[in-house]
Copies of this chain bind each other. A is one copy, B any other.
Amino acid sequence: MRFSLNQWTTRHWPLPDLAAGCASAGVTGVGLWREPVAEYGLANTAKLMRDHGLTVTSLCRGGFFQEPDALESNRRAIEEAAELGAPSLCLVSGGLPDGSRDLDGARSRVADVLAGLAPYAGEHGVQLALEPLHPMYCSDRCVVSTLAQALDMATPFPAAQVGVMIDTYHLWWDPDVWDGIARAGAEGRLSLFQVADWVTPLPEGVLTGRGMLGDGCVEFRRFREAVDATGYEGPIEVEIFNDALWSMPGPEALALTLSRYNEHVA
């Protein structure tokens, strides 16, 4: 089963309940987030996952490279990913510093911090997964906006150290995304495939408007087949930020997500 439940899809589901719920639904992979893992305890989480036969498919998230302590905090995130057995650490690269208009500078800063982190990631067996975020997040969340740009930024590093994420929500609009997916595969940098649907109108702040699979306009099968065509056999993580979904009980949200995944993605 390639389906993996990203923890933020059911963000209010306590970790032990989520683990039991996934195991009971036959789900074998989960993508975890640092904050709830820290709250439950890193070693406790690793044990909880093992006890329920769950694989940690990724750890969200490092990045935010504009922060002064970016190098140190990302090193800790790498250590955490390694302890959880997560093959990749998702990187949301951060936006512009407060009051700055220096977009080139912010992008250079990403490259600089990556250079400091990549060998450390390699030593820990963790691939840094640069995630291009939708351009609507460029100023405040992530200055890495297209797959081609993410791949260019990964180029100086060995593929085992720096890869890229393909998230349909962020990339569905990009006319170059199909070439980018093929390139990511050819370069051995396809770290992780995530899915969420695109729906409008967008909510205020545009953070919680991701759509349940099938509710929007993303061509999921086309994406999945393009990713598969590169030889990628890894997990398909469902990561949906959505108020309606978050207000549902965890087991119900998981059942809906699984059902839509089977209908639209698998």
Residues in A lying within 8 Å of B, measured CB to CB: 96, 100-103, 107, 134-136, 138-140, 145-146, 149, 172-175, 198, 200-206, 216-219
Q: How far is the CA of A122 from the CA of B24 in the complex (A)?
A: 66
Which label, helix, strand, loop or mixed, suits the secondary structure of the A interface? loop
Q: A100 near B201 (CB under 8 angstroms)?
A: no
Contact A217 B139, beta carbon cutoff 8 Å: yes
B205 and A103 form a contact (CB under 8 A):
no
Q: Give Cα A218–Cα B138 distance, bound, in whole angstroms.
A: 11
Contacts of A203 in B (CB 8 A): 204
- Output the least CB separation between A188 and chain B (Å): 23
Q: Which residue on B lies nearest to A107, using beta carbons?
A: B175
Cβ–Cβ contact A205 & B202, under 8 A: yes
Bound Cα distance A145, B171 (Å):
12
Which residue of B96, B135, B136, B200 is within 8 Å of A139 (Cβ)?
Answer: B200
> In the complex, A12 Cα to B263 Cα: how many Å?
48
Distance of A162 from chain B, by nearest CB (Å): 18
A101–B202 CB distance below 8 A: no
Per the bound structure, the CA–CA distance linking A202 and B200 in Å amounts to 14
Q: Give A139 Cβ to nearest chain B Cβ, in Å.
A: 5
Q: Are B217 and A136 in contact, CB atoms less than 8 angstroms apart?
A: no
A-B contact pairs, 8 of them (CB 8 A): A96-B217, A102-B219, A103-B219, A135-B174, A139-B216, A201-B205, A202-B204, A206-B206
CA distance A136 to B103 in the complex (A): 19
A25 to B50, CA, bound (A): 72
Most buried by B among A96, A145, A175: A175
Cα separation A176 to B103 with both chains bound (whole Å): 13
Is B136 a contact of A101 with CB atoms below 8 Å? Answer: no
Residue of B nearest to A203 (CB): B204
Could you tell me if A135 and B173 are in contact, using CB atoms closer than 8 angstroms? yes
Identify 20 new A-B residue pairs, CB closer than 8 A, beyond the known A100-B217, A102-B219, A140-B200. Answer: A101-B219, A103-B172, A103-B219, A107-B175, A134-B135, A134-B136, A135-B135, A136-B202, A136-B206, A138-B172, A138-B173, A139-B198, A139-B217, A145-B175, A146-B174, A146-B175, A149-B175, A202-B202, A202-B205, A206-B206
State the Cβ distance, A93 to closest chain B Cβ, in Å.
Answer: 13
Chain B residue contacts of A174, Cβ below 8 A: 135, 145-146
